[in-house]
Chain A
């Protein structure tokens, strides 16, 4: 242990499994063009994971693909974005979308292989304008089947009658998508597995809440950089549920052990900071840079979404599941596809588009209190509206409660163009030093 080390630390054992999952995901993309399975664009269907129950469906989300492209090849992602821009897409459009669909226009991927053209598309409105429109590029390219899963929400006081109508719309959209896919592609939806998984879903998402609560401990057993990998691999990449179930169980076991034994993610942790939404995926090394100051990032409202909709209990000092609307039927009485869809969507009312925007700014102070942070780094992204909305308000609220806030500017987490990395690190130096912190390693 060096003189500056305050806590024992140890590499995560689960990294090997995470890397294997990462390779599995990449392989599934690489194989997609030649694969006989149907290729679904998006399928980021929020709370009802129907996509997992069609055996012949592969899903590629453009967000992780676009982020990976920006991270691994600035040259190719620039080329892809240019291919979109010359066809009329605006410069302020989300980098993930521009990267992924720009490659579609080029017709090939980063390694030169054929771009995997999508067979169907299900974009939806959560959580930003870019999500609403992001299925458009592959839909405009060819007349593939497409659906819109509206995401009805409202703000203001709770109104059960109003809520019911909005939930029913979402239920209807979901059932329609499933039935249409069955009809158009002559494929079968596995109702039995779907219903069964609904019943065990609570257990799986409880893992997310447990991890979140473990990360409130000092020292934090994970840092944000680790968490991003697990959150992405465990959620956004849409890997098969049986693979993910084992992965999450192993992850929670290891984190619990680390928390119990005070094994730190950052051995010199003496300063805790948070974020709000995605960081520049190609430049996560700033987190390592901050570790020279003994600063650890404990997560963000974005990465902690793995826990679903949660709220901070000021008395128990724990994050708890938020259930706004109790389903009419108990989970034991869920017998049909329709029951299952309605059950999940009713319970999920706590985390919806615009609610997300409401929670972002109104509950960021709870988040800061729960994780005991001294600082917050809040990116200001010029593209991808959902990555920036409410960020300034969040900064003001955090400042008011005494959390020191650093804003920095860039294009979008999946677009390197405008992020001045050197300037960002200079900002970090000044931010740390003005709080009386010097580099200790």
Chain B
């Protein structure tokens, strides 16, 4: 467990070390719709750009109205934290991410870069064809960049490694479905985030060692079970706060949480099509939950499967995709009588007011509890 926490905390050192060991290139990306398998097959380490809170006296010159996450992403480039990144890829997704990519490229024009179109309407009949075409383009770009031709065998290997990683991380989620789960939400989230900055082959080995250890753990304390919904998270501070007042996040509907691992690539002869279909078929992000909605249904399924007592919706200030999608989530939670608490945050957590809100929610959830094991 501590190994993952340590890698997550020292993720820049991990990537520098990986580069030294492998001689490969490191590619930064922003959005969970990025098809990492194609980069990995080309010998590139895809690293998710993660925000943290650092004093910021530079981003205001080029940014306005951005969420603090995207400001910090740019800030960290300016501070030199991402000096090991060789290239950046931007997707058709949240515009603040696009802006972080754009200003970073202006200040660091020598970085390799690529814009990958990922359909905004993932269920559209032709979305698979256009994404397949875009994957073919980015594969060629990677080949030019690295001077290495990507073979089918390498794509198969990457698909297998990534599928294994998803399966292993899903096992962590399954452990959280039990009553009194053996793993806390904060521990699980740190593992999830560490996996997004690691070489998946190395992460898989660590997970294969860790999961049996977790399964041997004694059941955890009885806690109020939460689902965490909202903007992507970049640390486990909220989960820790919830645990501090008697709760536990047992499931999430976050893009870089369950959304990162919920479905696998189904192998096909056309490898790029198979990869594309996996990303189009993943649980919708808020921005891409358009036309006929899927996200509320997914949230409800997760809530049932993981027997949640209440929901926490944490939205980044200035997060437009979640600002426009919260309506559907509130409607669902109200209809299904799931108590919830919504709050806004930035790269820091407003600790006291959040704690008060969570405590109040726990009191509401406990009063209404009808679960078989009940509360004293």
The interface of chain A, by Cβ under 8 A from chain B, is 84, 87-93, 97, 123, 125, 128-130, 132-137, 139-140, 146-148, 150-156, 159, 162, 165-166, 168-169, 172-173, 176, 354, 357, 380-382, 385-386, 388-393, 396
CB < 8 Å neighbour of B103 from A133, A134, A136, A393: A393
Measured between beta carbons, the chain A residues less than 8 angstroms from B137 are: 159, 162
Bound-state Cα–Cα, A310 to B126, Å = 30
- CB of A278 to closest CB in B, whole Å: 14
Is the beta-carbon distance between B99 and A172 smaller than 8 angstroms? no
Residue from B129, B134, B290, B322 whose CB has the most chain A CB atoms within 10 Å: B290
Can you identify 28 A-B contacts, CB atoms within 8 angstroms? A87-B330, A88-B326, A89-B324, A89-B327, A90-B315, A91-B323, A92-B65, A128-B95, A129-B94, A129-B324, A132-B120, A132-B287, A133-B287, A135-B290, A137-B327, A140-B328, A140-B331, A150-B119, A152-B92, A162-B134, A173-B126, A357-B102, A380-B64, A382-B65, A389-B98, A392-B60, A392-B61, A392-B62
User: With A and B bound together, what is the CA distance between A92 and B326 in angstroms?
Assistant: 12
Q: Which of B62, B94, B329 contacts A88 (CB 8 A)?
A: B329
Residues of A within 8 A of B124 (CB): 148, 150, 173
The count of chain B contact residues (Cβ–Cβ below 8 Å) is: 55
Which of A84, A87, A133 meets B321, CB within 8 Å? A133
Cβ contact within 8 Å between A354 and B62? no
* Contact assessment for A393 and B106 in the assembled complex, using a CB-CB cutoff below 8 Å: yes
**Smallest distance from the beta carbon of A36 to chain B beta carbons, Å?**
26
User: Would B320 and A169 count as touching, CB distance under 8 A?
Assistant: no
Inter-chain CA distance A310–B109, complex, in Å, is 27
Whether B331 contacts A153 by the Cβ 8 Å rule is: no
Q: Does any Cβ of A come within 8 Å of B240's Cβ?
A: no
What residue in chain B is nearest A121 (Cβ atoms)?
Answer: B291
Indicate whether A154 sits within 8 Å of B117 (C-beta atoms), given known contacts A88-B329, A381-B65.
yes
Smallest CB separation, B122 vs chain A (Å): 9
Q: Does B376 contact A (CB under 8 A)?
A: no
Contact status A380-B65, CB under 8 Å? yes
Question: In whole angstroms, what is the CA distance A134 to B290 when docked?
Answer: 10
Contact A90 B320 (CB under 8 A): yes
| Cβ–Cβ contact A162 & B95, under 8 A | no
Contacts of A154 in B (CB 8 A): 115-117, 134
Interface pair A156/B114, CB less than 8 Å apart: yes
Whether A133 and B325, one on each chain, are in contact in the complex, defined by CB atoms closer than 8 angstroms, is: yes
Could you tell me the distance in whole angstroms from the C-beta of A19 to the nearest C-beta in chain B?
35
Which chain A residue has the least Cβ–Cβ distance from B141?
A: A156
Given A88-B330, A140-B328, A165-B130, residue A148 in contact with residue B121 (CB < 8 A): yes
- CB–CB A139/B291 < 8 A: yes
Give B contacts to A, CB under 8 Å: 60-65, 90, 92, 94-96, 98-99, 102-103, 106, 113-117, 119-121, 124-127, 129-130, 133-134, 137, 287, 290-293, 315, 317-331, 342
Q: Verify A165–B291 contact, CB threshold 8 A.
A: no
Are the C-beta atoms of A392 and B64 separated by less than 8 Å? Answer: yes
| Closest A residue, CB atoms, query B127 | A150
Residue of A nearest to B99 (CB): A389
Q: A90-B326, A154-B117, A389-B95 are in contact. List 20 more A-B contacts (CB 8 A).
A: A89-B323, A92-B323, A125-B120, A128-B95, A129-B287, A129-B324, A132-B120, A148-B120, A148-B121, A148-B124, A150-B127, A152-B117, A152-B130, A154-B115, A154-B134, A156-B113, A357-B98, A380-B64, A388-B65, A392-B64
Query: Are A129 and B115 touching (Cβ within 8 A)?
Result: no
Scoring B65, B99, B114, B119 by chain A CB atoms within 10 A of each residue's CB, the highest score goes to: B65
Contact residues in B for A128 (Cβ distance below 8 Å): 95
CB distance from B60 to the nearest CB of A (A): 8
Partner of B319, one of A84, A90, A134, A168: A90
Residues of A within 8 A of B63 (CB): 392
Chain B residue at smallest Cβ distance from A133: B324
- A134 to chain B: which residues have CB within 8 Å? 324
Given known contacts A93-B320, A123-B290, is B117 in contact with A388 (CB within 8 Å)? no
Tell me whether A136 and B328 are in contact (CB under 8 A): yes
Please determine whether A148 and B291 come into contact, CB atoms closer than 8 angstroms. yes
**The one of B114, B117, B290 that contacts A148, using a Cβ cutoff of 8 Å:** B290
Q: Which among B103, B115, B292 is the interface contact of A155 at CB below 8 angstroms? A: B115
A140/B320 contact (C-beta < 8 A), A123-B290, A392-B62 known: no
Residue of A at shortest CB range from B113?
A: A156
Measured CA separation A128–B318 after assembly (Å)? 14
Q: Enumerate chain B residues within 8 angstroms of A153, measured Cβ to Cβ.
A: 92, 117
**Which chain A residues lie closer than 8 Å to B121 at the CB level?**
148, 150
Q: How far is the CA of A125 from the CA of B122 in the complex (A)?
A: 12
Partner of A156, one of B106, B115, B133, B317: B115
Most central of B106, B116, B321 by chain A CB within 10 Å: B321
Chain A residues near B287 (CB-CB < 8 A)? 129, 132-133
When C-beta atoms are compared, the residue in chain B nearest to A140 turns out to be B328
User: Which residues of chain A have C-beta atoms less than 8 A from B125's C-beta?
Assistant: 172, 176
Closest chain-B Cβ to A437's Cβ sits at a distance in Å of 26
Q: With a 10 A CB-CB cut-off, give which of B98, B103, B117 has the most chain A CB atoms.
A: B117
Please determine whether A396 and B61 come into contact, CB atoms closer than 8 angstroms.
Answer: yes
Q: Residues of B contacting A132 with CB < 8 Å? A: 120, 287, 290
Interface centre among B92, B96, B292, B325 (most CB of A within 10 A): B92
In the complex, which residues of chain B have a beta carbon less than 8 angstroms from the beta carbon of A176? Answer: 125
From residue B303, how far is it (CB to closest CB) to chain A in Å?
17
Q: Is the CB of A90 within 8 A of B324?
A: yes
Closest-CB distance, A317 to chain B (whole angstroms): 29
A89 & B65 in contact (Cβ 8 Å cutoff): no
A222 to B90, CA, bound (A): 40
